[in-house]
Chain A
Amino acid sequence: MSIEKASGEASDSAVPQAFSNNEVLLDHEYRLAPLVQIPMVGSRLFICSIAVGLVMFFGLGIPQPFLDQYLYHPSVFWLVPIAFVMWPLLAYRFWSYQLRKFDIIVKSGMLIRREISIPWSRIQQVDSRAGPLDRLCGLKRLVLHSAGSRAGRTLIPGIELKLAEALQKHLAQIVEQFHGSKTERLAQFRQAMKARKEAATQSDKETPLE
């Protein structure tokens, strides 16, 4: 996916300045790169093989008759892992993300569709990660950190390297804009409080004792 030019809307004064760098499109619904299916299926295959191996060799404390009757039934034993592994092939189409004026929206989920909307000012940190399979496919994952309890770590997988770098740079700039200004405000507030306290102490000293 190539980096597209920003629309005219991005020059709005209310929009964070990072959007005016003309690299990332505002309000455009980005989709995941199709190659993301490989790391998604690969990671699930890895988890599934470990789980099946553990159940087969150790039983995990499940009584043998139960395993024979239910878990080792061909329909369960093969269909469930296959469905689990193949699920991302369908589900990846439902992933998308959209950068808006004041927030970012990340959509995911095939049966139950989720839309996470995080205001820019709430994002504390943007990480990028790439596992071996991601690197093989030339992809990166972005992780948006906020102070929330449920959406505290929001993942956007399958972003092409170039776009991921541009996105991370822009997101970092936006975060800096918000948090930078907040730090300055806090410093001003502290200075004002200090001055007030000093003035109060000064006036106490000047007041003659009755």
Chain B
Amino acid sequence: MNESSQLQWHRLHPAMLLFQLAGIVRRYFLLFVVGGVASSRGQNFVYFVLFSSALALTIGLLRYLSYRYAIEDKYLTVTDGVISKNSRRFMLEKINSVSRHQNPLAKLMGLVRLEIQQEASNLPALILPAVTFKQAEEIEHVIQLHAPQVRVSDDDSSSNISTGNAKADSTLLYQGSLKRSFLEGVSSFPLGLLALIGIMYRYYGQSLTPYIIDEYALYINTLNRYGISPSTHFWLFIIISLVCLYLIALAVGTIASVIRRFRYRVAARSGFISVVSGTFTRSTRVINCQQVQAIVGNANPIRRFFDACQWQIVAPRPGRQRGTASQLIPIGQYEEITGVLPALWPNCRYPLQHWLAVDAYHRRRLWTLTLLATVLVLAFITEVDSVFNPSADINLWLRVFHADWTIQLTLLIAAFALGALFRRFVHVNYAGAGYQLSEDYIFIKSAFLTQRFCVVPFEKIQAVVFSRSPMQRRRGLVTVELDINGILRPVRLYNVNEALAEQIREKAIAVVNKHSK
């Protein structure tokens, strides 16, 4: 207690009160709406507004008054809380990263929000919601004195966060634009779907059911006007519904992407990469190149058509869930990686050509999988059809104990015929898989529908996993999986011969061992 009283405490900027109020309103928006509606029915709306405003102000004020920080010899201490007092003490030398964030209001008032992250900690980042640039610089200076391995977002953020201009001594690796963000939105269906769900969730709170029921009824009525109903044209209805859903998701995704990404900027500067993101709320994250575990690129068929690729810098942030902290470079041309890689790792050259092919068994495996998938899809369609049209003859696909095999046989032949059509795709996918080994790096590309490129330094590998299916064992092949910190989807090299797999493993182990000594 005595020790804490000797500390020189600093308060945050009084504008924190505004940010607190905005946070309270955002968090309890639904409660305000429900309370407002309920009180207006009882004609107490004015009292409700007054009471809730006073409450929000009091909470904000108390939080502002109780939020203090102090920097002592080796620690940064932050205390907050009125009823239950919390105190967090960060060892300055253990701090891993410092990032600045600035929303439009903060930009107007010349304030920043500092996020300080400690290494190897599962705790969330320490946040100082509103500090002046001078305070931010002071804190960053002290941190850098104690933890020189941390590159704070110094002048890069203070000047560029608002202007978006590159510094003279930094290399601009990626600059977002309207065209690029539009392309990203158009080419990423999941983003659209996620944005759609997000908007619906935000708008309707936790219960989506009433919305879905209302909209579904409206949709059914519209289709009925054109003589299409689920009972008469079931598959047409399903196809139209899927197309509609896809188009809506795509539109929402494109708008979301344009808004979010068009001012994205990635620049490299002496062993660090700074990523400035956000359109309204600008954030800067400075990544130490040593922390980058891998580079992953994804190119789905639409992106491949435009010769574009979404690159991802895998740099895990401690305290966050694994795999979620990777930094995306939204969409770039396929060749742009040749500029990014030397900035990260000077001796790394991306092999645009001369990839080594995986074993030819990989093509046969893909072919078998395609056939199997076709059979299963047809089986599923007939089974679903049997649920909605019980009178139809083809409703016995999955009942394997039934004696009548004619329908199953017909469907099997149809599946093989359809599968033959997919043969070309299988070949494209096989040709899209390959690998390349260099002294310190392994390059892997794989494809099924989405082509994936991975660049992994051997020294960053956490574990090497071999898996062998019975067929692979017969042919002496192995699927090699490289385990990396912070990656969401595993990096796999399919169907390589055992000698090569062993060579990769031994090399990885040797390099890891060499670098850890």
Contact = CB atoms under 8 A, between A and B. Distances in A.
Contact of A148 (B148, B398, B485): B485
A189 interface: yes
B465 A114 contact: yes
A147 B509 CA distance: 15
Interface residues of B, number: 39
Interface in B466-517: 466-470, 473, 481, 483-488, 490, 505, 508-510, 512-513, 516-517
B485 A149 contact: yes
Contacts of A37: none
B463 A116 contact: yes
B463 A113 contact: no
B399 interface: yes
A102 B483 contact: no
B463 A122 contact: yes
B487 to A, nearest CB: 5
A96 interface: no
Contact of B322 (A102, A149, A197): A149
A190 B74 CA distance: 13
Given A69-B399, A189-B149, A115 B465 contact: yes
A80 interface: no
A98 B323 CA distance: 29
B516 A182 contact: yes
Interface string A106-120: 000101111111111
Nearest to B516: A121
A70 B398 contact: yes
Given A119-B513, A178-B516, A194-B145, A148 B468 contact: no
Contacts of A115: 465-467
B23 to A, nearest CB: 32
Interface stretch (A54-62, A84-92, A132-140, A150-158): A150-158
A102 B470 CA distance: 29
A64 interface: no
Contacts of A73: 401
B490 to A, nearest CB: 5
B473 A113 contact: yes
A70 to B, nearest CB: 7
A109 to B, nearest CB: 7
Contacts of A69: 399
B341 interface: no
A120 B517 CA distance: 11
B464 interface: yes
B62 to A, nearest CB: 39
For the complex, would chain A's binding face be called helix, strand, loop or mixed by DSSP majority?
A: mixed
Contact of B509 (A102, A116, A178, A193): A102
Contact of A151 (B148, B465, B488): B465
B93 interface: yes
Contacts of B516: 119, 121, 178, 182
B145 A197 contact: yes
A202 interface: no
Nearest to A117: B464
A181 B513 CA distance: 13
Contacts of B322: 149, 152
A149 B488 contact: yes
Nearest to B481: A150
B462 A147 contact: yes
Given A117-B505, A197-B148, A148 B470 contact: no
Contacts of A151: 462-463, 465, 483
A12 B147 CA distance: 37
A103 interface: yes
B290 to A, nearest CB: 11
A115 B501 CA distance: 11
Contacts of B486: 149
A151 B466 CA distance: 12
A111 B467 contact: no
A122 B485 CA distance: 11
B147 A190 contact: yes
Interface in B430-470: 461-470
A164 to B, nearest CB: 21
B399 A148 contact: no
A148 B484 contact: yes
Interface in A19-55: none
Interface string B132-154: 00000000000001111100000
17 contacts: A69-B399, A102-B510, A111-B470, A114-B467, A116-B463, A116-B464, A117-B466, A118-B463, A119-B516, A122-B512, A147-B462, A148-B462, A148-B485, A151-B463, A189-B149, A194-B145, A197-B148
Given A115-B465, A190-B93, 7 more contacts: A112-B468, A113-B466, A114-B466, A117-B464, A117-B465, A149-B487, A151-B463
3 closest A-B pairs by CB: A148-B462, A121-B516, A193-B148
